[in-house]
Amino acid sequence: MRLADLPEQHPDRARVRERVIELCLPLAEHLAGRFRNRGEPHDDLCQVAAIGLIKAVDGYDPARGVAFSSYAIPTIVGEIKRHYRDKGWSVRVPRALQELKLDITKAVSELTQKLQRSPTVTDIARRLGRSEEDVLTGLDAANAYSAMSLNAPASEQQGSGTAVVDLLGEHDAGMASVEDRATLRPLIAQLPEREQRIIALRFFGNLTQSEIAEKIGISQMHVSRLLTRSLRQLREGVPADH
Amino acid sequence: MDIVVLRVPADGAYLSVLRTATAGLAARLQFTLDEIEDLRIAVDEACAMLVADALPGTDLSCRFTVEEDALTVAVSVPVDGAPRLPGTQTFAWKVLTALAGEVHAEHESGHAAIRLTKRRREAH
C-alpha cells in the first residue's frame, strides 16, 4: 500500500503514515549519529531527526519521480542543521537539565510557601532528593538557558510612564545624579513594563526577589533572570561611569 | 575564614565562571536563593563595570572571603589612568548596595577594585 494513494481523510491513512515513519526511524537515527560529538546529546538529536523524518513523510510527493530516500535525507539533515543554527548548541540546555530546572522552580515555589522564606540550596536538594551540586548545576542551567528563552520585545508597552522612571525623577535628587537622570530615564522607559516594575520593586521598594515573584505571579528564578537581563540592557546603554 | 582566589581574563566571556563560583560559595554558607541570586547579579554587575575599563589583555582577579555568615567578593583589574567607578549617588551604586549590602569601590596603584560583602540575613 502506498501512503500517497490514500486520500487525506482515508481511515487507514494515519495508521499507514505511522508505519512508514516507524520503518524509516533507523534512517533518521543514522543521520543523527553523523552529528555525534558536536555538543548535543544523541537523544535530543534523534528527536530532531525524527521531526525531520515526519516532515519528509508528509511532504513527499512521489509524482515528482524522486525516490523517498533522496527526498528524506536532505530534509532530515536540514532539520538537524536548523536545530544547531536556531538553538546554538552552546546555549541550548539538554533536556535532562531542563527537567531539573523545572523541578527546582517548582520546589522553590513550594518551599517558599512552606518555610515562609526563600529556601537554601540545601533545602532544595533535600526536597528533590538530589545533591547540592545537582541543584547548583540546575540553577546555572537556568541562567544559561535564559539567554534564549526570554524573548520579550524591548519596545513592548513603551513609555507608559511607569513608577521607576518617576522614581528617578527630579524629586529624588538625593539618589540619582544629574547624569543618571539624563541617560538612565530613557533607557528604563524602553524596558518592558513588567521589567520596569521589577526594577522599581527591587531597588526602590526594597522587596526581595521572592516577594516580587509572588506579586507579579512568576517564579523567583524568572525574576532573577529578568533582573539580570534588564540591568545588562541598562549597563550596555549607559556609559561605563554610571 | 577561607580565601578563594580566581583569576580570569578580563573579558565578559569569563564572567560566568565567577557567577558560578559565587553561587557555589554562597550556597555553602546556607544563603537563601534570594540572597544567592542577588549576589550573583551584583558580581555580574561589578565585574562588567571593571572589565569595561580593564587594560586590554589583562586579568580580572576575584578574591572571595568566606566567613561564617558573610561572603566578600573583591574584584579588581589593572587600569590606565582614572577608572570610571560608580559614584555613590548613581543608580549603579544603588543597584550594587541593594543586591550585595556593603559596597566599596576604589582606585589604587593602577588597579580599579570593587568589593561586595553580603551577610546572611535570614536565620534558619
Average pLDDT over all residues of chain B: 92
Give the per-residue pLDDT at B87. Answer: 84
Looking at residue B88, the DSSP 8-state letter turns out to be T
Residue at A39: amino acid letter: G
List of chain B residues whose C-beta atoms are within 8 Å of the C-beta of residue A220: 33-34, 37
List of chain B residues whose C-beta atoms are within 8 Å of the C-beta of residue A119: 32-33
For residue B67, is pLDDT > 60?
A: yes
Residue contact A242–B91, C-beta within 8 A: yes
Within a domain: residue B63?
yes
For residue A153, is pLDDT > 50?
A: no
Give the per-residue pLDDT at A5. Answer: 75
For residue A12, is pLDDT > 60?
A: yes
Give the per-residue pLDDT at A160. Answer: 41
Q: What distance in Å separates the CA atoms of residue B95 and residue A230, rounded to the nearest whole number?
A: 12
Sheet (strand B2-9) strand order: B2-9, B59-66, B70-78, B111-119, B102-108
Within a domain: residue B75?
yes
CB A117 within 8 A of CB A165: no
Count other C-beta atoms under 10 Å from residue B108's C-beta.
Answer: 8
Give the per-residue pLDDT at A135. Answer: 94
Give the per-residue pLDDT at A181. Answer: 66
Within a domain: residue B44?
yes
Q: How confident is the model at residue B124 (pLDDT cuts 50, 70, 90)?
A: low
A143 touches chain B (CB under 8 A): yes
Give the per-residue pLDDT at A7. Answer: 75
How far out from the chain centre does Cα A144 lie?
9
> DSSP 3-state assignment of B9?
strand
Residue contact A120–B124, C-beta within 8 A: yes
Q: What distance in Å separates the CA atoms of residue B23 and residue B38, rounded to the nearest whole number?
A: 10
Give the per-residue pLDDT at A141. Answer: 77
Q: How confident is the model at residue A165 (pLDDT cuts 50, 70, 90)?
A: low
Q: Give me A52's grid cell.
A: 525531520
Listed range (A139-148, B32-41, B86-95, B96-105) with the worst mean pLDDT: A139-148
Residue contact A221–B23, C-beta within 8 A: no
Give the per-residue pLDDT at A240. Answer: 39
Q: How many CA atoms lie within 13 A of B103 on its CB side?
A: 23
A89 vs A190, higher pLDDT = A190
Interface test with A, best of B33, B36, B44 (most A CBs within 10 A): B33
Listed range (A21-30, A162-171, A228-237) with the worst mean pLDDT: A162-171
List of chain A residues whose C-beta atoms are within 8 Å of the C-beta of residue B89: 174-177, 180
Residue contact A176–B89, C-beta within 8 A: yes
Distance from CA of B122 to the nearest CA of A (A): 8
Look up the domain containing B12 and give its range.
2-119
Question: Domain tally for chain B?
Answer: 1
Within a domain: residue B124?
no
Q: Give me A84's grid cell.
A: 544547531
pLDDT tens digits, B79-113:
998 878 888 888 889 899 999 999 999 998 899 99
For residue A230, is pLDDT > 70?
A: yes
Most confident of A42-51, A63-72, A76-85, B46-55: B46-55
- Angle (nearest 5°) at CA A150 between A124 and B21: 45
Q: Model's pTM, two decimal places?
A: 0.67
Q: Which CATH number characterizes residue B58's domain?
A: 3.30.565.10
Distance from CA of A228 to the nearest CA of B (A): 6
Residue contact B53–A232, C-beta within 8 A: no
Give the per-residue pLDDT at B3. Answer: 97
CB B82 within 8 A of CB B107: yes
